[in-house]
Chain A
Amino acid sequence: MRYEHERASEHSVALRNCGRIDPRDLNAYIAECHGYSGLERALGLGREGVIAKLRSSGLQGRGGAGYLAAAKWQICHDAEGEEKYAVCNAVDADPRARTARLLLGGDPYSVLEGLLIGAYAVGAAHCFVCINTEYTGELTVLQEALEALRERGLLGSGILESEFSCDIAIKEIAGSLVAGEETALLQALEGKQLLPYRRSVYPAVRGLYGKPTLVNSAETLANVSAIFQEHPAVTGPGGLAGGGCGTKVVTVFGGVSGSCTLEVPLGTTIAAVTEAAEGVPLSDLDLKAVQFGGPTGVFLAGSGLQTPITYEALQEAGAAMGSASVEMFGGDRCAVEMARDVMLYLERQSCGKCVSCREVTYQLADMLSDIAESKGEAKDMEMIGELCEFMRSNSICGLGKSAAAPVLSSIELFAGDYDAHIKDKRCPSTST
């Protein structure tokens, strides 16, 4: 598999080493990439010191919600319990995003170093890397990396001659949208079915086997190791430590260039990312809309494309970071069909546990199919609104809560397409 833009650029933090070094070579990581200087620094700072440093970096979790990473670490650190766990989510719940895959295959040590720093900070002695079952090549790389770390004394008891002892185990998880849910991931780690549950307390307080558990994405952890290594991309201008916002790994697909992953400074607009991926100005791209943030992301068009990619700006625009993927839809596409296809996918991905997500995705898929085939009625639109609101407010996990977003945004942006199907019984996107 080859990706045009997967190589590190001058902005790169998470992907800083990808393509630059042999991912299987621990020596190269240590020698050329400040490898394990971050962990060493962390061990020197003490647990509170680690969290303080992370806090001062301002790093927001790169998993999607954008909470302050240090806040989560602090909760887990403060939680009572002899036994704690740290978990790296490297499943890539959104199948079109592949940040975790790139990291595990291209630079596993940065992720593992971040995981160990997290484990040290919260006081966990057992870590897990949850990897997508489809990532067989990356799995081998990861297994070899863990073996190499053990041999080097960077894993096991008394790491770097400190008091800190820790081991990391691998758990293979079947890829699905719910795998992005911390609660579901923890169920799977316990040997149960990959299903989310409605949490009343954070997993950082009560997670795996009821013990405090720190869960971070691979991208977050790669950022963590860069911060503690005081990597130039972090300390330099625009870097987190240099007063900037840091970066985000974004995947763009659906255009002429196929699929493309790049790491851009937070604050880059969606339009700019799209242009960078496609290599042509926006005006040359016959774009009807993009869907941003994965299958539960909203559709954006027109001025919406100028939204800067930051957690706050996206939220203001009614969108969410999600998997930070950008799916492009050409000008000839029908908005109803776009929404229907998304909903059919979400219905398949629904875990079935709560009535709102299970039944509403089913109902919406049927209604949107009917509308797309010009068999819908005006009252369907009313019902769609009611059902979407029900799903948003009643679902137990993020997937269900956000599953209505694409439909609602599609209706808002392209009311005309829906009207044509319902009132005129025709699809405006077909020439007839």
Chain B
Amino acid sequence: MPIYKHMTKQSPIRLTIDGREVETRAGASVLEAALENAIYVPHLCDHPDLPPAGVCGLCVIEIEGVGGLPTSCVTPVSEGMVVRTQSEPISRGRRLAMELLLAGHPVDCGTCQKYLNCELQSLKQYLGVEESSVRRRAKLLPVDSSNPLFIHDPNKCVLCGRCVRACWELRGVGVLYYKKRGREFYTYTDDAGPLAETGCRFCGACAEVCPTGAIQDKQELVADKNRKAALVPCRGACPAEIDVPRYVRFIKDGDYPAALEVIREKVPFPKVLGYVCDHPCEAECRRGEINQPISIRELKRFAAEHDDGLWKQNVSPDPPTDKRVAVVGSGPAGLTAAYYLRLQGHEVTVFESLPEAGGMLRYGIPGYRLPREVLEGEIRDIEDMGVVIDTGTRVESIDELLEQGYDAVLVAVGAHTGQKLVIPGASSEGALISTEFLRDVNLGNDAAVGKKVVVLGGGNVAFDCARVARRLGAAEVHMACLECRENMPASADEIEQGEDEGIVIRPSHTSTRILDRAGRVAGVEFLDVASFCFDEENVPQIEVIDGSRHAVEADTVIFAMGQHPDVPEGFGVEVTDRSLIGADPVTLSTNREGVFAAGDAVSGTASVIKAIASGRKAAVALDRFLGGSGRIDKKLAPQVEPMPCLGPGKGFAALSRVAGSCALPEDRVGNFCTVAMGLEEGAAADESTRCLQCDLRLKIKTVEFWGSY
């Protein structure tokens, strides 16, 4: 017996389908055998990831020696079986099944969002059942759009039961049931209550396997978007394409070094980002539609704080290529590019005009936001790979680098030149520029402010200035910006923490002049703004409120509104009319062969993550230019297939966001100590558990339509 059993498990089964001898594994269904061998058999309830049900009646076939029309999805193959997939009785049976499936289904697809992605429509097209011999009806069931992620339209449901099987068998969640209202069936929660209250995990498997439009993603979440980016929006929103769900899952599973490795596959600054990333991922997080987004940045920091350093064993530069690259600027863009280029085997030297490396990470972002030892640690890791950083060396022209024999140059000088508004009084004593002010502070230069400070601007840099001013002893700090409060460009936590520190925010303000007393700043004159936007040419359109002129007293004014790169005269690359370095948006190449540009120098002031992403892109372009493959992604974290089973989720929807704690405002105003404290292990575990694991959905196989066979 054991030998026999062994044979049935291992040896392939041979059978004949439509006169063709085909082979398949033992235990396969006749339907699987046919599809594997490019023989199309229409099927609806069957799905490659779900146990077969045999309920739709479409995949019927004929088997020699077996009466009737067996259902191929639940009929196992056997050696020597002779199968026919096409005959008049088969067609009649399939058509009648289809007519019955469509009896209560809306007759026209013209307004359905699922149209052309709908298995039912494709099957109807294949089977040709435009005329119906059975009675048609409208089910007239109410559509449920109360869920933030999905729309349930029971009228479109044909009870294939895939969603129920996906919910129970694939995911182990078990919240979807067959339901009946009046005479009509549909699928929904047992007590017809909201999904959130039943233990739904919002994994989307039901919507993914639904062959019709009965369970669909909300249009606003997916319309006109790339499918993968729409369904896993955190990853889609990350400029550096960090695989967020994957590292969050590693944290959930307690493998923190693996989580860090996932992040390191895309960026060399995990911990820096854990402190200062503006996390565009969180704005897109699907969990945010249900209650609050996952604290992705805090989890990143948590992973980085649990670095065991073992990743270094798997990261080493490729064999030398004998190519030399010069990177001008040691900010996040420059260092990222340098790091990846070094790993590709090139010799990389980074030139930095300031005394220490880090660019805006060091000379823009204040220490209370980004502790210096964090920055220095990650820069050291980059240097450990063999990147040479030449600080205190200002590159005056590209030519001098090319003369030194560098094969390629990356210009990543950042945007360190701020600007003042052209308004009366702007040159008064005590009127400062954000970049200079912050640089002075971070250099340890004398950077005193008065008692009353007004910062003009509403972005993160403006907050940096305002909060630093508080730390330098200003008793009263005002921030004024054109935008209304809801549209302020600064991130929400900056605004919150700034206000906690006593900063007065004055949104919808336009400054008309700096008031001065004997050449010294005495205040700022404002008008209230009724509306503010940019027109199609990106020119600001400001509508002021008549008679709203008023003044705010001040002894120091800091302009924090727009920055551009500091490009030396005769540097040797094209500069645009916006004072940025001109580079092709895709290839990042400049007007000079072998010279590329990246980061804020190209885009104007952006975010750290965007600078890093730009550095990655530059590394790809430079590596290709130098004859490399351009493949800079590293496989560091273990390749583990995530468990498709999520299990029951009682109370899952209600789990609220665990945010990192902050030092108390009164403890932080007078010093530059770190404000954000990060997550404890328990909190990180809780937070990672909240993740919807949207990426699991992409693991579900796609059913091929008849047209593909």
Secondary structure call for the A interface: helix
Q: Which of B176-184, B217-225, B609-617 contacts A (4 or more CB under 8 A)?
A: B176-184
A390 close to B (CB within 8 Å): yes
Interface range on chain B (Cβ under 8 Å from partner): 20 to 34
B652 within 8 A of A: no
Decide if B159 touches A358 in the complex (CB within 8 Å): yes
Contact of B159 among A191, A355, A393 (CB under 8 A): A355
Asked whether any CB of chain A lies closer than 8 Å to the CB of B68, the reply is: yes
A355-B159, A383-B134 are known contacts. Are A390 and B93 too (CB-CB below 8 A)? Answer: yes
Residues of B within 8 A of A363 (CB): 100, 103, 134-135
Q: Which B residue's beta carbon lies closest to that of A197?
A: B53
B386-409 interface with A by 8 A CB criterion: none
Whether the Cβ atoms of A200 and B93 lie closer than 8 Å is no
Min Cβ gap B275→A in Å is 46
Cross-chain contact A193 with B53 (CB below 8 angstroms)? no
Residues in A with CB closer than 8 Å to B180 are 352
Interface residue B426 (Cβ < 8 Å from any Cβ of A): no
Q: How far is the CB of A389 from chain B (nearest CB, A)?
A: 10
- Do residues B74 and A355 form an inter-chain contact, with CB atoms below 8 A? no
Interface status of B630 (Cβ within 8 A of chain A):
no
Chain B: CB-nearest residue to A359: B100
Interface residues of A in 381-407 (CB under 8 A from B): 383, 386-387, 390, 393-394, 396
Complex: A386 Cα to B103 Cα, angstroms: 16
B202 contacts the other chain (CB 8 A): no
Selected from B68, B101, B135, the residue in CB contact (under 8 A) with A355 is B101
A198 contacts B71, C-beta separation under 8 Å: yes
Q: Indicate which residue in B71, B135, B161 contacts A353 across the interface (CB closer than 8 Å).
A: B161
Q: Given A200-B74, A363-B134, is A355 in contact with B178 using a C-beta cutoff of 8 Å?
A: no
Q: Which of chain A's residues have a CB closer than 8 A to the CB of B185?
A: 352, 358
- Please give, as numbers and ranges, the residues of chain B lying within 8 Å of A347 by CB-CB distance: 183
Q: Check: A360 CB closer than 8 A to any chain B CB.
A: yes
B residues less than 8 Å from A68 (CB atoms): none
Interface flag for A319 (CB, 8 Å): no
With a cutoff of 8 Å between Cβ atoms, the chain B residues found around residue A197 in the complex are 53
* Chain B positions within 8 Å of A386 at CB level: 96, 133
B54 pairs with A355, CB closer than 8 A:
no
Given the interface pairs A353-B159, A353-B178, A355-B158, the reply to whether A198 lies near B97 with Cβ below 8 Å is no
Task: Determine how close the nearest CB of chain A comes to the CB of B321; give it in whole angstroms.
Answer: 57
| In the complex, per-residue mask of A323-356: 1 if CB is within 8 Å of any chain B CB, else 0 | 0000000000000000000000001000111111
Given contacts A363-B135, A383-B134, A394-B97, contact A355 B53 (CB under 8 A): no
Q: For the complex, is B377 an interface residue (Cβ under 8 Å from A)?
A: no
Is the CB of A2 closer than 8 A to any CB of chain B? no
Q: Kindly list chain B residues whose C-beta atoms are within 8 Å of the C-beta of A366.
A: 135
CB distance from B371 to the nearest CB of A (A): 52
In the assembled complex, the CB of B46 is this many whole angstroms from the nearest CB of chain A, namely 11
If A362-B183, A394-B57 touch, whether A355 touches B134 (CB-CB below 8 Å) is: no
- Find out whether the CB atom of A352 lies under 8 angstroms from the CB atom of B174: no
Does A43 lie at the interface of the complex (its beta carbon under 8 Å from any beta carbon of B)?
no
Q: Given B53, B55, B97, B177, which contacts A390 in the complex, CB threshold below 8 Å?
A: B97
Contacts of A198 in B (CB 8 A): 52-55, 71, 74
Q: Is B250 an interface residue (CB 8 A)?
A: no
Query: Within 8 Å of chain A (Cβ to Cβ): is B56?
Result: yes
Query: B69 contacts the other chain (Cβ, under 8 Å)?
Result: yes
Instruction: Give the chain A neighbours of B69 by CB distance below 8 A.
Output: 393-394
Q: A359 touching B101 by the CB < 8 A rule?
A: yes
Interface size class of A (residues with CB under 8 A): 20 to 34
- In the complex, what residues of A have CB within 8 A of residue B97's CB? 355-356, 390, 394
Residues on A with beta carbons closer than 8 Å to the beta carbon of B96: 386-387, 390
Q: Find out whether the CB atom of A355 lies under 8 angstroms from the CB atom of B183.
A: no
Smallest CB–CB gap between A203 and chain B, Å?
Answer: 15
C-beta contact mask, B121-135 vs A, less than 8 Å → 1, else 0? 000000000000111
CB-CB under 8 A from A193, the residues of chain B are 164, 177-178, 190
| Alpha-carbon distance between A393 and B60 when the two chains are bound, in angstroms | 11
Interface residue ranges of A179-200 to B (CB < 8 Å): 191-193, 195, 197-198, 200
Across the A-B interface, how many residue pairs have beta carbons closer than 8 Å? 81
CB neighbours (8 Å) of B53 from chain A are 197-198, 353, 396
> Which of A355, A362, A387 is in CB contact (< 8 Å) with B55?
A355
- For residue B463, CB closer than 8 A to chain A, the reply is no
Within 8 A of B (CB), among A191-239: 191-193, 195, 197-198, 200
Taking the nearest CB of chain A, how far is it from the CB of B41, in angstroms?
A: 15
B273 to nearest A CB, angstroms? 44
Binary per-residue interface labels of chain B (69-100) against chain A in the complex, 1 for a CB within 8 Å, 0 otherwise: 10100101000000000000000010011001
Q: Is the CB of A352 within 8 A of B178?
A: yes
Q: Could you tell me if B178 and A200 are in contact, using CB atoms closer than 8 angstroms?
A: no
Partner of A360 from B74, B100, B164, B177 at Cβ < 8 Å: B100
Cβ contacts under 8 Å, A200 to chain B? 74, 76
> CA–CA, A191 to B174, complex, Å?
10
Shortest distance between the CB of A129 and any CB in chain B (Å): 24
B149-205 interface with A by 8 A CB criterion: 158-159, 161, 164, 168, 174, 177-178, 180, 183, 185, 190
- Residues on the B chain within 8 Å of A360, using CB: 100
- Give min CB distance, B257 to chain A, whole Å: 37
B184 to chain A, nearest CB (A): 9
A192, B159: Cα distance in complex, Å: 17
Q: Choose one: B133, B158, B178; the contact of A195 (CB below 8 Å).
A: B178
A192 with B174: CB separation less than 8 A: yes
Indicate if the CB atoms of A396 and B55 lie closer than 8 Å.
yes
Would you call A387 and B54 a contact (CB within 8 A)?
no
Complex interface: chain A residues within 8 A of B174 (CB): 191-192
Nearest residue (CB) in A for B176 is A193
Q: Which residue of B lies closest to A366 (CB)?
A: B135
Q: Which of B52, B54, B60 contacts A354 (CB 8 A)?
A: B54
CA distance A30 to B181 in the complex (A): 50
B159 proximity list for chain A (CB < 8 A): 352-353, 355, 358
B163 shortest CB reach to chain A, Å:
13
Q: Which residue among B76, B177, B185 has the maximum number of chain A CB atoms within 10 Å of its CB? A: B185
Is B168 touching A355 in the complex (CB atoms < 8 A)?
A: no
Residues of B within 8 A of A393 (CB): 68-69
Q: Which residue from chain B places its CB closest to the CB of A198 in the assembled complex?
A: B54
Complex Cα distance, B133 from A355, in Å, reads 16
A354 in contact with B57 given A200-B76, A394-B97 (CB within 8 Å): yes
Output the nearest chain A residue to B185 by Cβ-Cβ distance: A352
B71–A394 CB distance below 8 A: yes
Interface residues of B in 9-36 (CB under 8 A from A): none
**CB closest chain-B residue, reference A354:** B55
Specify which chain B residues have a CB less than 8 angstroms from the CB of A359 in the assembled complex. Answer: 100-101, 103-104, 134
- CA distance in complex: A351, B55 (Å): 12
Contact with A along B52-67 (1 / 0, CB 8 A): 1111110010000000
The smallest C-beta distance from A26 to any residue of chain B, in angstroms, reads: 38
CB neighbours of A353 from chain B (8 A): 53, 55, 159, 161, 178
Least CB separation from B177: chain A residue: A193
A381 to chain B: closest CB distance in Å? 13
State how many angstroms separate the Cβ of A31 from the closest Cβ of chain B.
47
A378 to B292, CA, bound (A): 62
> Min CB distance, B73 to chain A, in Å?
9
Query: What 14 new A-B contacts, CB under 8 Å, besides A198-B52, A355-B55, A358-B159?
Result: A192-B168, A198-B71, A352-B178, A353-B161, A356-B57, A359-B100, A359-B103, A360-B100, A362-B103, A386-B96, A387-B96, A394-B57, A396-B53, A396-B54
List the 3 closest pairs (A to B, CB-CB), nearest first.
Answer: A352-B185, A359-B100, A198-B54
Q: List 30 A-B contacts (CB under 8 A).
A: A191-B174, A193-B164, A193-B177, A193-B178, A197-B53, A198-B55, A200-B76, A352-B159, A352-B178, A353-B53, A353-B55, A353-B159, A354-B55, A355-B100, A355-B101, A355-B159, A358-B159, A359-B103, A363-B100, A363-B103, A366-B135, A383-B134, A387-B134, A390-B96, A390-B97, A390-B100, A393-B68, A393-B69, A394-B69, A394-B71
